[in-house]
């Protein structure tokens, strides 16, 4: 603990805990008194810095590739874990966590939104394998756990090809359940807060059945995930498959695709380039944003728990979209103006998770303050802009041409 405290002081001088826009200055003493929160916070900062240094070293010509440090597990402790969507935003962070824990990890991705560079640090490691495959097609492998994350999650990407989105959620989940049944592996589905639709209950608990349009532009994703959940519980009841279901609320962090089209990436990219910040609608609609590090902790806890009902994983701190845009403008220090565009169809008016169940059955709640996560995410996108040039957030009606050039793939 003493070593952690020393590291904390040194790292906080570089990355100090910020002020919380809702609750004023953060009490660092209180943070330090919470040993678990402190350890996780420091470990995360150290891991990111180590990965950054190793990546820089590996980029030098003639250097033998180095890997981030991992735990050394006994063979009896080591699990074989499949992560579908493993090169995507959340998937790559999950892969990183599982690899550092010392497990054998297979990252499966069709690279529609996933990127090889997100898992570049582990390519070549004896415990890691990157597999180019689409979950709509069966895949044979021997594993102990399956994290099924495969599916585009941002509206522009999942609305680009609604039929493929439905197939990914339904057929992809069906294939992973078949694999779990054959290998007797535990399978976790990353479902979504979108199963609640535009809710009439606030905040949303796992017992709320939702209000979802079955014909709107979001239906391919919303209903696809709802059917995926239904199949999970059908396989549990009929075949005894060991299942877990996480309902994920808005998440942000490093490795988000610059052309993601979601609120956080759009606002940051626009602010960093001094462009207008575009809000769809009046900006009074609310969202709750969690940092990806917290989500990954929740997923791992859920997978290794004894609870098999749906569990909300999100940050209950609620912001209006306008408040969130203003916070990013202030943090980036840009002169960007906030402009309003017509609202999008079926855009939920309020979204906030009730996480009392996650607290009770998992001992989980978010640890990273939104502003802390935003600082890290802003720096990530700043680096991406320096590395690759300008970005313009992609809108749903613009994505077809963009993706057609990128992949040329159909349904």
**The token pair that represents 183 in the structure block:** 């290998």
Residue with tokens 């609320």: 249
The CA–CA distances, whole Å, from 334 to 262, 267, 359, 393 equal 20, 11, 38, 17
Whether residue 396 contacts residue 160, with contact meaning beta carbons closer than 8 Å, is answered with yes
Query: In degrees rounded to 5, what are phi and psi of residue 85?
Result: 70, 25
Q: Give the residue from 134, 92, 95 showing the smallest Cα distance to 111.
A: 134
Contact predicate 125/324, CB 8 Å: no
Query: 338 forms bridges with which residues in the sheet?
Result: 277
Question: 131 and 95 in contact (C-beta within 8 Å)?
Answer: no
For strands 24-25 and 19-20, give the pairing. antiparallel
Q: How far apart (Å, rounded) are the C-alpha atoms in residues 99 and 70? A: 7
Integer Rg of the chain from CA? 21
CA-to-CA distance for 305 and 362, rounded, in angstroms?
Answer: 7
- Catalytic position from the list 158, 196, 221, 319: 221
How far apart are the C-alpha atoms of 376 and 291, rounded to whole Å? Answer: 10
Contacts of 164 (CB under 8 A, 6+ apart): 136, 411
Strand partners, 147: 83, 188
- Helix and strand numbers, DSSP H then E, in the chain: 13, 15
Backbone angles phi, psi at 158, to 5 degrees: -80, -20
Specify whether 147 is catalytic.
no
**Paired tokens of 65:** 């590739």
Return the active site residues.
221
């Amino acid at each position: 603990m003493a070593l952690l405290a020393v590291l904390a002081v040194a790292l906080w001088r570089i990355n100090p805990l910020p002020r919380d826009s809702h609750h004023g200055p953060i009490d660092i003493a209180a943070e330090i008194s919470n040993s678990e929160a402190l350890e996780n916070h420091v470990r995360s900062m150290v891991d990111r810095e180590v990965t950054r240094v190793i990546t820089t070293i590996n980029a030098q010509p003639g250097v033998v590739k180095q890997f981030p440090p991992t735990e050394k597990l006994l063979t009896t402790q080591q699990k074989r874990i499949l992560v579908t969507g493993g090169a995507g935003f959340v998937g790559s962070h999950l892969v990183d966590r599982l690899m550092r824990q010392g497990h054998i990890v297979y990252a499966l991705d069709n690279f529609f939104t996933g990127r090889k560079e997100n898992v570049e640090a582990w390519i070549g490691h004896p415990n890691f394998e990157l597999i180019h495959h689409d979950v709509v097609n069966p895949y044979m492998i021997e594993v102990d756990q399956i994290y099924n994350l495969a599916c585009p999650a941002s509206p522009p990407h999942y609305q680009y090809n609604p039929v493929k989105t439905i197939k990914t959620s339904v057929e992809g989940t069906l294939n992973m359940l078949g694999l779990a049944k054959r290998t007797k592996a535990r399978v976790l589905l990353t479902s979504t807060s979108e199963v609640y639709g535009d809710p009439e209950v606030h905040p949303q608990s796992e017992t709320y059945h939702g209000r979802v349009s079955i014909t709107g532009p979001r239906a391919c994703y919303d209903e696809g995930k709802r059917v995926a959940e239904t199949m999970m519980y059908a396989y549990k009841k009929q075949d005894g498959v060991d299942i877990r279901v996480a309902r994920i609320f808005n998440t942000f962090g490093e490795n988000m695709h610059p052309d993601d089209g979601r609120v956080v990436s759009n606002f940051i990219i626009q602010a960093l380039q001094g462009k207008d910040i575009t809000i769809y609608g009046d900006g009074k609609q609310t969202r709750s944003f969690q940092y990806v590090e917290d989500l990954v902790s929740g997923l791992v806890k859920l997978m290794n728990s004894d609870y098999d009902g749906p569990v909300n994983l999100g940050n209950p701190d609620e912001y209006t979209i306008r408040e969130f845009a203003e916070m990013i403008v202030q943090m980036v220090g840009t002169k960007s103006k906030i402009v309003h565009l017509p609202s999008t169809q079926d855009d939920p008016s309020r979204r906030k998770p009730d996480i009392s169940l996650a607290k009770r059955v998992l001992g989980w709640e978010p640890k990273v303050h939104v502003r802390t996560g935003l600082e890290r995410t802003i720096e990530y996108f700043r680096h991406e802009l320096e590395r690759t040039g300008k970005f313009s957030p992609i809108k749903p009606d613009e994505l077809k041409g963009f993706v057609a050039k990128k992949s040329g793939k159909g349904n």
